Structure 1
Amino acid sequence: MSLPDKLPKDDGAIYLVDGYNFLFRAYHALPMLTGPDGTPTNAVRGFVSMVHALRREAAPPYLAVVFDAGKETFRNELYPAYKANRPEPPADLVPQFAVVREALDALSIPHLEQEGIEADDIIASIATRAHAEGHPVVVVSSDKDLMQLVTDGPPPIYLYDTMKRVVYDPAAVEAKMGVPPEKVADFLALTGDTSDNVPGVPGIGPKTAAALLAEYGDLEGVLAAAPSIKQKKRRERLIEHAEDARISRRLVELVRDADVPPFDAMRDPGMDPEKARIFFEKYGFRSMLRDVAAMARQAPGDGRSGTVPADAPIEIGRVEGTFVPRYDDHRVLVEPSPDVLTELAASFEATGRWVVAILPSETDAMRARPLGVGFVAAASDGPAPAFVWLGVTADVAADPCAEVGADVRARMDALRPLLAPRGGGGVLTAEHKAPFECWEENDGALPLPLFDAAICSYTIDPARSDHGIEALARDMFDAALPTEVEARGKGRKAKPWVEVEPAAAARYVLARAEAVAAVQGPLDRWLEASSPAIQRLFREVEMPLAAVLRAMERRGILLDGEALARQGEALAREIDRIRAQVAAEAGHEVNLDSPIQLRKLLFEERGLPPTRKTKTGYSTDARALEELAALDPIVGFILEYRALAKLKSTYLDTLPRLIHPRTGRLHTRYRQTVAQTGRLSSIDPNLQNIPVRTEHGRRIREAFYAPEGYVLLSLDYSQIELRILAHLSGDENLIRAFREGKDVHRRTAAEIFEVPDDQVTEEMRNIAKAVNYGVIYGQTPFGLARQLGIPRGMASLYIRKYFEKIPGVAAYMEDVIARARRLGYAETILGRRRRIPELDRRGAARAHGERIARNTPLQGSAADALKVAMIRVERALAHDERARMLLTIHDELIFECREDAVDDIVAKVRPIMATAIELDVPIEVHVGVGHTWAECKT
């Protein structure tokens, strides 16, 4: 994470932290937390998080935290009522004053205090001397008194509010206070300060004070001019309270010449990980313990804080050098003889590493035929790039049940050594899963490539929006690859790939293959610069997983298309019934798919209150209609229509068309490099969005079935993300509930509603369940209110009580955001890292970044667990013909299993899933069995 650009990065910069300002803000930001011995720790935890973030972001060579000594100062002698109205600090904050100093000692951060003067005076004296000796100064505080010090210099003295991430230079001070820094003391002398009981002049507010100082210069100028001021009350008050104003000026003016330590006493020596670990363990700061492993102690005086991980998150971007495809060197071999291809294969095998790029006839790998294949040597001195046009005919390409000709088969056999190399040769690809699957459908299984550019990019930098080879070439080399439109044509005139000229196909394919060779070196270097955990994720999880997904996609699942067709007919009748109901309510026919007609119906004819405005008029999207549903029954009909129409078009009409004519099965495609959390998604079709709890969703699942003698077997992680939350947060209530096998939603409800477990109603449990999962996704009170259909104030109350009753989660959520802000990324248990640039932005973007920071360790760790389990399960079943893994849906694995082998397979698979990651709570795996997918969920 970067600091605001305004802050100095100078080697001599001195950062001075207003200690109690930080501590009080932390106390009010976090709910009550205690250490293992019962000591209150919420303020210290927040303080440590904030100061550690500052140290990480700024890496200041000089750093000190400054405290009030807690005694009376010269200001109390001058004005005994000074600060007399301040309430005593909260009882649970007082013991944390000593603990925060202990924390600073553990973190090796210098801290200062001095009797007789306040922290502000120490800060002012250090800043004044530092300024005189050429050191830039950053005062870290939100205290307006310290604005007196601000100057552009050179060198500058700036005030930095870390919570708002606002830097106050002279212009910013004047914008906020109405006066420049040199007049702040005069300004406060006139307005007074109720928090410190500084009297000021009654009736003189900020605007008046700023106007008076602008006209008369300073306090003495204002008081001298008082008798001539026209406004009677103002004139009288300034004359009557002139002495109060002068006393106030002395109270607010900072001491700038106090005896303070030398600058060397403030040099940041860096963190000692062992000292930090002991402190964190003593006070139960579990989440901060994970930072210790990434901290290396720096030598004193090296200008670094010691908290910068060597393996900070990597953002894939521009690299040195250029890349231009060698179009003139491309060799295009159209339907060559097997002997020619055998020689070609030998020439590439001799180089040790080469890129393979397969051109499928279409995107559906199960229906596609390999039309051509390109080869590029990884080394620049290898053979020239070569493209082989296999000679698949148009009729074969169009018929997934047709066999390729003997001549095509012979060419594929001759090239097989380059796709399944002997002797440890290395195949590099751009995104191998679908093209390799296409080849496998026509020529048998292929081994895992050595390197896949898309998967490597995704593992290193999952925050990228596109890991395809076109995007990598563009972002790394500013290179534009030939497009599909250039090769095939555009729109209706676009040719199928099988009819494209081999030379045009070669240009398209080989440019991509050459790009893979170009990006492989930088990606390898980025991977080696990444953490060991990320390297393991690439080599031991993501690459092996691709082969597992290829196998699952080829297996597919049986689907009863006729049953879906019957459901579609029934649903069509239901949709017609809803259309008729709307027409009867409206008094005329309405096209429910037309936003224009809906706007007219709802806002003009029915007089419903307008929703938010869009470019084309008032919104009629689902969110807008849900807000209107309680006002008019016709809105409910429209929502029901949309839900059923979408279900029909997405599943009942589409799924039967996707059944493969040769296998009789549905073959979904898994996308491995899309979800930034690490989750898998599926397309063609997307099976993850079939409704779970509705009768229509259940009936769709009834159409997925097992063959004779087999059943479908479902193994589903139970509440995996909540278990991960218990592990990461260390919250005793959550951990106890899971260890004791209790209903965690019922337990949460009992805490929120303050009733015994046996008095929790189903409604209370449902609310608690929504809150439990809402916490994971950073749900706002507004979002929870919409979900539950309750007032926003009530939703806010539930969330607040949740954090009060389950304080470990509240502390963890604060810590995880602070950690992400400090390090620049969020991290899963297995070390997957996701950059969060949104945390450097403002407003809604920053709030979105905070939700990402909360969600990624939970959802990402669950995704990692499932991936590890899939790889281990696939290996465990590799030689067991009684069962095979077909699908993964969210946290669920679905198998086709012989009826007489269910118990054995469950006994083999369940422990693998339950031990995919290690947690402080048990991982439970629910089992479902049935002849249909629906039966597995009952």
Structure 2
Amino acid sequence: MDKLLILIDGNSLMNRAYYALPELMNKKGQHTNAIYGFANILFKIMDTYKPSHISVAFDLKAPTFRHKQYDAYKGNRKKMPDELRKQVEPLKKMIDAFGINRIELEGYEADDLIGTVAKNFEQDGFEVYIITGDKDALQLVSDKIKVLFTKKGISELDEYDPDKMTEKYELTPQQFIDLKGLMGDQSDNIPGVAGIGEKTGIKLLKEYGSIENIYMNIDEISKSVKAKLEAGYDMAFLSKSLATIMVDIPLELKVDEFEKKDIDKNTLISLFSEFEFNSLIGKVGNDESGLIDKVQKEYLISNDIELLIDKATSLKSLNLFSIAKSGLVSDKRLINLFVKIDEDFFNIEEKDVLKLKDVFENPEIKKYGYNLKNDCLILKPYEINLTGLYFDIAIAEYLIDSTSSNYEIKDIALKYNLGDVLSLEELLGKGKSKKDFKDLSDAQISGYACSVLDIVDNGKEALITTIENYTMHNLFYEVEMPLVEILADMEYIGISADKEVLNELKQKFDIEIKTLEVSIYEYAGENFNINSPKQLGHILFDKLGLPAIKKTKTGYSTNAEVLEALSDKHPIIDKITLYRQYTKLQSTYVDGLLNIINPKTGRIHSSFNQTITTTGRISSTEPNMQNIPVRLEIGRELRKVFVAPEDMYLVDADYSQIELRILAHIANDEGLIDAFSKGDDIHTITASEVFNVPLDEVTKELRSAAKAVNFGIVYGISDFGLSNNLGISKQVAKEYIDNYFARYPYVKKYMEDIVEKAKNDGYVETYIGRRRYIPELGSNNFIMKNLGKRLAMNTPIQGSAADVIKIAMVKVYARLKSEGLKSKLILQVHDELIIESPDSEKSYVADLLKEEMESAVDLNVKLTVDAKWGKSWYETK
């Protein structure tokens, strides 16, 4: 549309964005949710409506003419939250960078500015769209002026023209002012006529047309309504005046000042980078709408293998990215392998990949890439072991910012402005229509792969510099990058799974589940769906009369917390708890594991992830080995499934209380260090100190409670949290925590100091310098701030434990390799490592594990490791 003016109520949109979106903060602790929501709606407006002219109107702090008319005007409004107030000026800077006009004038509200501009531009032949969340604007609707209301927070707009007004309210825009005069407006503290609501107001206006006409014909109106109108005469006309938007403010309006200007790309990108709106950076462009064009770059790609080998050998580096079809990890799945050296791109087809074996296995040739573990795995079935893994852009970005939600190549490219690349979703689609790489054309595959290589090449220098500036050189090059090869090996080798044991467990669990169902039905006096919270709630609380602990929107809550609180109220509760445990084990683990055993290898090949957890811990999927249950015997039985092949053993080594030992070291608490140095049981000592009982009188229950205190302290637990965990009062829980800190005063000092340091620096670090930003500490929200404190206390401990196990993995892997042992590192779970070892090596490997794990780092407290072997994972425990 050649002449389209969009007017935005800045305050309305800003407030709606703030309250509609969850709390967002950048690493500096700066709140950004209102800015983020506003930016998104601006992009949407530009893209959808492509206005020729646009302006955002804001209120100012100064009183307006309405306050002079009525002192209590907007008197019920709460003060703007600090978290929002601090976003106002940065938001205005962002609007300016968008090339959008802003208007604000002391003594007038944004509504009045919008009304005046809208009516003036209407007379000049413009179409005008007003975007707001305030219904007052409906009085401005005309054939040329439409009002677009934000709804569903800010994600959708509801359009009002005169026809929609008539359909919705059966009133004209002018009558909407009269309606406000009658019914008032609670949000602006406009009183209206007491007792007259929207329904009555609309009825009166449909019959009499206006407030003035209503009062002229007041004797025709029913007694009760008449009495209210008579009593509210002054307020009716005052309210109408307050609700009337001014359309004749003396403004100097120059049409060209409202024209949509070009985006100030550099400023907007800089602001988005500061706010950490990485997903929005890519939308910034120089085109009129401000949306970036997807430019499909054409690459000149060579198939000259000899030239590739010569360049790689002479330059000692290459950028690598593999494209493979989906399938089993043991399959040969390569479609094409792409390499960039200097400014040259190469495409290696599957038939030629072995010609590059020497290049790929040469540790002197540095390999740069994105998700290099994937390249390692794709090449393994071709008996190529990729070495010299020097730089993975995703892992580098993970170290720089471990709190990011993902590390996809597109997000990294947007954050650092490294160039254009499609996301996997844009390339392959999603849901039922999702494609495989084998379904793409050669041009699509090569275009995507080369753009990934470009991003890696463009970004490596900047990210490596940042890592050096963050003093994470050793962490990156000596721990994280060596782990890529290790995790690829572990994933490719997998762990043997005994299908027969799984089927036996399935039958056993089926019998247990059916037996529990019978018992539950007997206690209930009827059959019902135990898995239905609604039906279970009816049985427990309506039929059996148990006390309702918590309710949800749909009825009674029957979650684990509720069942635990009811455990001593009725025998049915324990049966339901057991039933849930068995059904969870059956569906998630027994059935789940049966589905993912590789039919060719008979092994489970879990996928290990380096860039998921904020603490640095390695995680795994398909299956999540970290979640294999161990607390209950029925869960521990699942470990019988994981076995060693014939003539082989599983050697398992596990750190003892590593997080508490790290706490003793970083807090430098003599009491805690002394307890570990003597080799005493730390939980028994804690029980003795905290509960004031002699060591020889510490019961199993007291030791268990002390264990909860020990590990609770590590996680920054509160008296409320500890009281819930132990089923004690908050006062008693507080005494326990106070006693603990009295016994170990330097632990308390550490907790206080680390929170203060995190507030000042914005982040905390682990033993070897892994960094985690904690913006939550800058929140004014009590819950978020307390979360930030707990993260500050716990991250250095838990993150250092993650560092230690990773360092140990690197050392163990190097020893196994350098000594030519047949034993293979196959699994890492929490604080334990598992090696598959021949019978002849198992004893030596157990000693090797213990030696390397205990010497992984030098602490004030000795690290201790228990190493055992067995034919199954279960036997090693």
Instruction: Report the TM-score, using the length of structure 1 for normalisation.
Output: 0.60
Change (3 A) 1:801 1:446: same
Per the alignment, residue 429 of structure 1 pairs with: 369
Q: Following the alignment from structure 2 to structure 1, what is the Cα–Cα distance between the partners of residues 844 and 300?
A: 54
Change (3 A) 1:442 1:615: farther
Counterpart of 1:903 (choices 843, 854, 869) is: 843
Q: Is the 8 A contact 1:824 1:837 kept in 2?
A: yes
Per the alignment, residue 454 of structure 1 pairs with: 394
Equivalent residue letter for 1:505: I
- Root-mean-square deviation (Å): 3.3
Q: Give the CA deviation at 1:349.
A: 6.5
Per the alignment, residue 871 of structure 1 pairs with: 810
TM alignment of 1:507-546, pairs within 5 A = 507-531=447-471, 534-546=472-484
1:852 and 2:791 are equivalent in the alignment: yes
Q: Following the alignment from structure 2 to structure 1, what is the Cα–Cα distance between the partners of residues 336 and 502?
A: 37
Per the alignment, residue 353 of structure 2 pairs with: 412
Q: Is the 8 A contact 1:365 1:434 kept in 2?
A: no
Q: Give the CA deviation at 1:586.
A: 2.5
Per the alignment, residue 355 of structure 1 pairs with: 319
Stretch of structure 1 that moved more, 353-362 or 363-372: 363-372
Change (3 A) 1:421 1:327: farther
Equivalent residue letter for 1:829: Y
Counterpart of 1:710 (choices 648, 656, 663) is: 648
Q: Following the alignment from structure 1 to structure 2, what is the Cα–Cα distance between the partners of residues 371 and 813?
A: 53
3-state SS in 2 of match to 1:515: helix
Q: Give the CA deviation at 1:677.
A: 1.0
1:829 and 2:793 are equivalent in the alignment: no
Per the alignment, residue 493 of structure 2 pairs with: 555
TM alignment of 1:233-272, pairs within 5 A = none
Q: Which runs of 5+ in 1 are unaligned?
A: 1-55, 58-163, 168-312, 334-338, 391-407
Change (3 A) 1:328 1:888: closer
TM alignment of 1:176-191, pairs within 5 A = none
Change (3 A) 1:902 1:489: closer
3-state SS in 2 of match to 1:894: strand
Counterpart of 1:375 (choices 320, 326, 339) is: 339
Change (3 A) 1:364 1:826: farther
Change (3 A) 1:342 1:585: farther
3-state SS in 1 of match to 2:477: helix
Q: Give the CA deviation at 1:345.
A: 5.4
Q: Give the CA deviation at 1:686.
A: 1.2
Per the alignment, residue 884 of structure 1 pairs with: 824
3-state SS in 2 of match to 1:653: helix
1:625 and 2:589 are equivalent in the alignment: no
Per the alignment, residue 474 of structure 1 pairs with: 414
Per the alignment, residue 689 of structure 2 pairs with: 751
Q: Following the alignment from structure 1 to structure 2, what is the Cα–Cα distance between the partners of residues 753 and 718?
A: 24
Q: Following the alignment from structure 1 to structure 2, what is the Cα–Cα distance between the partners of residues 669 and 485?
A: 20
- 1:473-526 per-residue CA deviation (whole Å, 9 max, x = no partner) reads 233339764243444444334343323333333333333332222322321221
Equivalent residue letter for 1:600: H
Q: Is the 8 A contact 2:669 2:744 kept in 1?
A: yes
Q: Following the alignment from structure 1 to structure 2, what is the Cα–Cα distance between the partners of residues 647 and 776?
A: 29
1:328 and 2:297 are equivalent in the alignment: yes
Q: Is the 8 A contact 2:420 2:451 kept in 1?
A: no
Q: Following the alignment from structure 1 to structure 2, what is the Cα–Cα distance between the partners of residues 871 and 790?
A: 44
Q: Give the CA deviation at 1:924.
A: 1.0
Q: Following the alignment from structure 1 to structure 2, what is the Cα–Cα distance between the partners of residues 838 and 854?
A: 13
Q: Is the 8 A contact 1:750 1:756 kept in 2?
A: yes
Q: Following the alignment from structure 2 to structure 1, what is the Cα–Cα distance between the partners of residues 522 and 374?
A: 50
- 1:411-470 per-residue CA deviation (whole Å, 9 max, x = no partner) reads 212454664468x44321111112321221234211132210011111222222222212
Equivalent residue letter for 2:872: T
- 1:691-750 per-residue CA deviation (whole Å, 9 max, x = no partner) reads 223222232112222233332211111111111111122222211111111111111111
Stretch of structure 1 that moved more, 858-867 or 684-693: 684-693
Q: Following the alignment from structure 2 to structure 1, what is the Cα–Cα distance between the partners of residues 547 and 366?
A: 65
TM alignment of 1:656-805, pairs within 5 A = 656-805=594-743
Q: Is the 8 A contact 2:418 2:455 kept in 1?
A: no
Change (3 A) 1:474 1:627: farther
Per the alignment, residue 862 of structure 1 pairs with: 801
Q: Give the CA deviation at 1:886.
A: 1.6
Q: Is the 8 A contact 1:582 1:590 kept in 2?
A: no
- 1:573-613 per-residue CA deviation (whole Å, 9 max, x = no partner) reads 21122222222222333223333333433444444444545
TM alignment of 1:73-112, pairs within 5 A = none
Q: Is the 8 A contact 1:582 1:638 kept in 2?
A: yes
Change (3 A) 1:421 1:772: same
Q: Following the alignment from structure 1 to structure 2, what is the Cα–Cα distance between the partners of residues 891 and 490?
A: 36
1:442 and 2:382 are equivalent in the alignment: yes
Q: Is the 8 A contact 1:716 1:893 kept in 2?
A: yes
Change (3 A) 1:730 1:426: closer
Q: Is the 8 A contact 2:408 2:423 kept in 1?
A: no
Q: Which runs of 5+ in 2 are unaligned?
A: 1-27, 30-82, 87-273, 286-291
TM alignment of 1:260-409, pairs within 5 A = 327-331=296-300, 340-343=304-307, 346=310, 353-362=317-326, 365-367=329-331, 369-377=333-341, 379=342, 382-383=343-344, 385=345, 387=347, 390=349, 408=350
Stretch of structure 1 that moved more, 803-812 or 542-551: 803-812
- 1:630-664 per-residue CA deviation (whole Å, 9 max, x = no partner) reads 43433333322222111112221122332222322
Change (3 A) 1:735 1:487: closer
Q: Is the 8 A contact 1:557 1:886 kept in 2?
A: yes
Q: Is the 8 A contact 1:331 1:387 kept in 2?
A: no
Q: Give the CA deviation at 1:767.
A: 0.8
- 1:113-141 per-residue CA deviation (whole Å, 9 max, x = no partner) reads xxxxxxxxxxxxxxxxxxxxxxxxxxxxx
3-state SS in 2 of match to 1:839: helix
Q: Give the CA deviation at 1:868.
A: 0.9
1:811 and 2:780 are equivalent in the alignment: no
Q: Following the alignment from structure 1 to structure 2, what is the Cα–Cα distance between the partners of residues 327 and 666?
A: 40
Q: Following the alignment from structure 1 to structure 2, what is the Cα–Cα distance between the partners of residues 490 and 561?
A: 33
Q: Following the alignment from structure 1 to structure 2, what is the Cα–Cα distance between the partners of residues 369 and 326?
A: 29
Q: Give the CA deviation at 1:541.
A: 0.8
Instruction: Report the TM-score, using the length of structure 2 for normalisation.
Output: 0.64
Q: Following the alignment from structure 2 to structure 1, what is the Cα–Cα distance between the partners of residues 674 and 821?
A: 41
Equivalent residue letter for 1:915: S
Q: Following the alignment from structure 2 to structure 1, what is the Cα–Cα distance between the partners of residues 382 and 530?
A: 46
Q: How many residues align?
A: 601
Q: Is the 8 A contact 1:325 1:514 kept in 2?
A: no
Q: Is the 8 A contact 2:777 2:785 kept in 1?
A: yes
Change (3 A) 1:700 1:330: same
Q: Following the alignment from structure 2 to structure 1, what is the Cα–Cα distance between the partners of residues 365 and 504?
A: 52
